[in-house]
Chain A
Amino acid sequence: EPEVTQTPSHQVTQMGQEVILRCVPISNHLYFYWYRQILGQKVEFLVSFYNNEISEKSEIFDDQFSVERPDGSNFTLKIRSTKLEDSAMYFCASSGQGARGYTFGSGTRLTVV
């Protein structure tokens, strides 16, 4: 069964530092997403990405956030200057052509101290 791979599984960073969360989506998928989940809470949409550009983003996804697909396989989320409230589990997901469910990665737990 194809998987979405996320690294690292856990990242601890100082407030104000930049972090890059990495994802390798399923190879033949075309749509890529980042969601986050604060402990015990709902899964919140951050951004969707298709055809090398952002297709939608939420109000959470402000100027501190950016996404990139640098080499045709990786899909990264960068947070430029982390805040305490950015602490959450960040999930990458991908989906294929047509109406299908998302395949989520195992997540990166980001802790900002």
Chain B
Amino acid sequence: GQQVMQIPQYQHVQEGEDFTTYCNSSTTLSNIQWYKQRPGGHPVFLIQLVKSGEVKKQKRLTFQFGEAKKNSSLHITATQTTDVGTYFCAGRRLGSGNTGKLIFGQGTTLQVKP
């Protein structure tokens, strides 16, 4: 079945350093979404990428969707303590439309030392 893998599992950075998490799917995706889960909280939708090679920015966060639509990345510039949490990518298999099930990666947990 479809698998979505994320690396690294954990990342500790000093405040102000950059952070990147990578997401790879075993199958081609129709779109990919990113979520953030604060400790003890629930996943909160950040963004969706649809087009091959798409790049989107939200302030210090940059999201990329690979050309083959099988991988994605999230890069945070100059991390802050408010960035702490687990970042999940979640993908829909190509052909499943806009409402097919989202399969989540294992998540990357970011710790930021002040």
Contact = CB atoms under 8 A, between A and B. Distances in A.
Contacts of A56: 100-101
A25 interface: no
Interface string A83-113: 0000000010001001111111111000000
Nearest to A102: B45
B44 A104 contact: yes
A99 B31 contact: yes
Contact of A104 (B43, B48, B101, B107): B43
A66 interface: no
B7 interface: no
B102 A102 contact: yes
Nearest to B99: A31
B63 interface: no
A48 interface: yes
Contacts of A103: 45
Contacts of A50: 99
A91 B102 CA distance: 14
A48 B92 CA distance: 13
Interface of B: 31, 33, 35, 41-48, 50, 88, 90, 98-107
Interface of A: 31, 33, 35, 41-45, 48, 50, 55-56, 58, 91, 95, 98-107
